[in-house]
Amino acid sequence: MKMKTFFVGLLSVIALSCNNNDSRKPISPRFNHVMLYVSNLEASIEFYTKAFDLRVANRLDTLIRIDADGKEVALNVTMAFLKFTDQDFVFELAEHKPDSASMPVAYLFQHVGVDVQDIDAAFKRAIHAGGKELSPVRKVKAKGVEAKQAFFAGPDGERIELMQILAGEF
């Protein structure tokens, strides 16, 4: 478990290094990335770049872990960091085939949210790129926020929510 925690922390540092915008003062604390495991990195890159105009900011095939005693261990990884143009937030994809029997039930409720200006066009684009509809475009209201939302699944079944805010804010 310690190695997994260390590895996740190290990936966060790497994701931060993808930030090339030095003209703004860093905000801290802030969310800087979301990481999803995918079974086929190339298929997922193709989907997310087609569906959302993300670009590949960096790829990793080797990660050097430095243990507390200074020993360096090379780890083979298959990862990509994707970004929207002019945004610092990183969408990290790591190729890995998790054991579905050990996934917690909460996994079913996890999703990546994408804010859009035209949900109908964005939904059609995502479906055309290979997304699978989970729920159609519909309106939702809660505590002063009104929005349109839709859910679809990406190449590995990951849930993605499109949201167009109509009134209010989160």
The domain made up of 109-170 has a fold known as 2,3-Dihydroxybiphenyl 1,2-Dioxygenase; domain 1 (3.10.180)
pLDDT digits (tens, 9 = 90+) for 51-87: 999 999 999 888 777 768 888 888 888 989 999 998 8
The pLDDT assigned to 99 comes to: 62
Q: Which residues of the chain have pLDDT under 50?
A: 1-19, 105-106
pLDDT digits (tens, 9 = 90+) for 16-28: 444 455 556 666 5
Tokens read off for 115: 């804010």
In CATH, 1-97 is 2.30.29: no
Q: What b-and-e string marks burial along 84-94, b requiring 16 or more CB atoms within 10 Å of the CB? A: eeeebebbbbb
Domain with CATH 2.60.40 in the chain: 1-97
d(CA 139, CA 153): 19
Domain with CATH 3.10.180.10 in the chain: 109-170
The pLDDT assigned to 109 comes to: 57
β-pairing, 112-115 vs 159-167, is: parallel
Q: For the whole model, what pTM was predicted?
A: 0.63
